[in-house]
Amino acid sequence: MDKTETKFGRGLLGAVAAAVVAAPLAVATPAIAQDYPSADETLDWTIAFGPGGGNDIMARSIIEILNKYDLYPGEISAENRAGGSGAVGWGYLYAQDGNGYGISTTSGSFVTTPLQADTPWQPEDFTPVALLATDDLVLVVNGESDIQNIDQFIANAKENPITIGGTGSVNVDFIVPTLFAKRAGFEFDYVSFNSMSEQTTALLSNALDAMVGNPGEILGLIDSGDLRPMVFSGTSTPAALEGVPTMGDIGYDIGVSMPRGLILPPNAPEEAQTFWIETMKKVVETPEWDEYISSNTLTPTVLYGDEFRTFLGNTKNGFETVLREVGAIE
């Protein structure tokens, strides 16, 4: 999930339709050089969301590392192609079938967008390079709440149906608490917001009982005591949330993570995939990458090639099952 794009419905469908029509006209596919990569070819890096969001930060962090350590010989042109919760950007990349010089980063919307819009692509269609990290959520309450820990939270929720806020309607912010509530045995009403600032204001004014969010976006409010963390959805708690249990720790593992990864167009040349897998193995060993993971409160999770493709397929199937069960998609 990228916090810069969360609205669906007519806008998303319109954006998808536009992308399908326009993308083939906008893309020129250069021939793959025998020795990949060629310094003469510009790498066309698509960022499927606007500036400043999680997808944008990740892409530009990788590009900075590539440039600093001379890991790519040619020019890299990064362009934000936002729209339709990623449908426009990833549609642009999808149209570059067979091209080794198109590339993009992924987020939660890479999985959720095709589940609710008629995109011509599915996550598994692209050439997988690497899953590099997962972006997980923390469930928080107002810092002034009487609820001090997750056991009290669950007990209270079982007695009194609650409201939980999140950014966007049918996406990971909705899926994570839905799965957790199902495992833990309580009910809640989900309240959708257009931005993190809106839902935070609602929680601090007691218009919500709780909300989910990426730790990196609300860590300052957690540190100040304005928000109190209850539980983390990832497989291991980041250092910034020391002492906060994971959902798995308390017996309610939901098996959901948002993929921060790297992909090439469908049917990209094998030499291009191999080059990028080997290059990303170097990227994740740099101190700059460690700093990126730490400062954005991500969970370092690395899978390469077909293992990443399998992860994407399993994640999509899990999301689809949940959304159908709750009637969010038909």
β-bridge mates for residue 103, sequence order: 45
What is the crossing angle of helices 109-116 and 306-325, to 10°?
50
Assigned token pair, 326: 């709750």
Among 214, 241, 268, give the residue marking a domain's end: 241
Residues 21, 127, single domain; the answer is yes
Please check whether residue 23 is in contact with residue 95, taking contact to mean a CB–CB distance below 8 angstroms. Answer: yes
Q: Is residue 54 part of a domain?
A: yes
Q: Looking at the domain assignment, is residue 144 inside a domain? A: yes
What is the rounded CA–CA span in Å between residue 202 and residue 208?
A: 6
For residue 77, the tally of other CB atoms under 10 A from its CB is 12
| Claim to verify: residue 225 and residue 319 sit in the same structural domain | no
Residue 128 lies in a domain: yes
Whether residue 277 is found in the same domain as residue 229: no
Phi, psi of 213, deg, nearest 5: -165, 160
- State residue 157's pLDDT score: 97
**CATH number of the domain enclosing 188:** 3.40.190.10
Q: Which residues pair with 188 in a beta bridge?
A: 162
**Residues 219, 110, 311, 265, CA torsion sign:** negative
Beta bridge partners of 263: 104, 128
b/e 21-41 (16+ beta carbons within 10 angstroms → b)? eebeeebeeeebbeebbbeeb
From CA 206, how far away is CA 17, in angstroms rounded?
40
State the maximum Cα–Cα separation within the chain, in Å, rounded to a whole number: 66
- Together in a domain, 153 and 234: yes
Q: Which residues of 260-282 are buried (b: 16+ CB within 10 A; e: fewer)?
A: bbbbbbbebbeebbebbbebbee
Do 129 and 148 lie in one domain? The reply is: no
Q: Which H helix or E strand runs over 142?
A: strand 138-142
pLDDT values of the chain reduced to their tens digit, one per residue, 330 residues? 454 443 334 344 444 444 444 444 444 444 444 589 999 999 999 999 888 778 898 999 999 999 999 999 999 999 999 888 889 999 999 999 999 999 999 988 899 889 888 899 999 999 999 999 988 999 999 999 999 999 999 999 999 989 999 887 777 888 899 999 999 999 999 998 877 889 999 999 999 999 998 888 898 999 999 999 999 998 888 888 999 999 999 999 987 778 899 999 999 999 999 999 999 999 999 999 999 998 888 888 899 999 999 999 988 888 888 888 877 787
Number of domains into which the chain is organized: 2
pLDDT at res. 322: 80
d(CA 220, CA 210): 17
What CATH number is given to the structural domain containing 73?
3.40.190.150
Backbone conformation region of residue 181, classed left if phi is above 0, alpha if psi is from -120 to 50, else beta? alpha
In eight-state DSSP terms, residue 124 is: G
Is 158 in the same domain as 142? yes
Based on the domain organization, do 166 and 127 belong to the same domain? no
| Kind and range of the H or E run holding 300 | strand 299-304
Query: Do 83 and 20 belong to one domain?
Result: yes
**Domain check: are 262 and 114 in the same one?**
yes
Is residue 4, in this structure, part of any structural domain at all?
A: no
Q: What is the pLDDT of residue 323?
A: 83
Is 296 within a domain?
A: yes
Asked if residue 98 lies in contact with residue 265, where contact means CB atoms within 8 angstroms, the answer is: yes
Gap between the Cα atoms of 170 and 176, Å rounded: 11
Range(s) of the domain holding residue 308: 10-134+258-325
- The pLDDT score that the predictor gives to residue 34 is 58
Q: Cα separation of 170 and 314, whole Å?
A: 18
Specify the pairing of strand 127-135 against strand 258-264: antiparallel
The whole-number pLDDT of residue 71 equals 98
- 229, part of any domain: yes
Looking at the fold, whether 35 and 101 belong to one and the same domain comes out as: yes
Whether residues 110 and 147 fall in one domain: no
Question: Is residue 143 domain-shared with residue 122, that is, in the same domain?
Answer: no
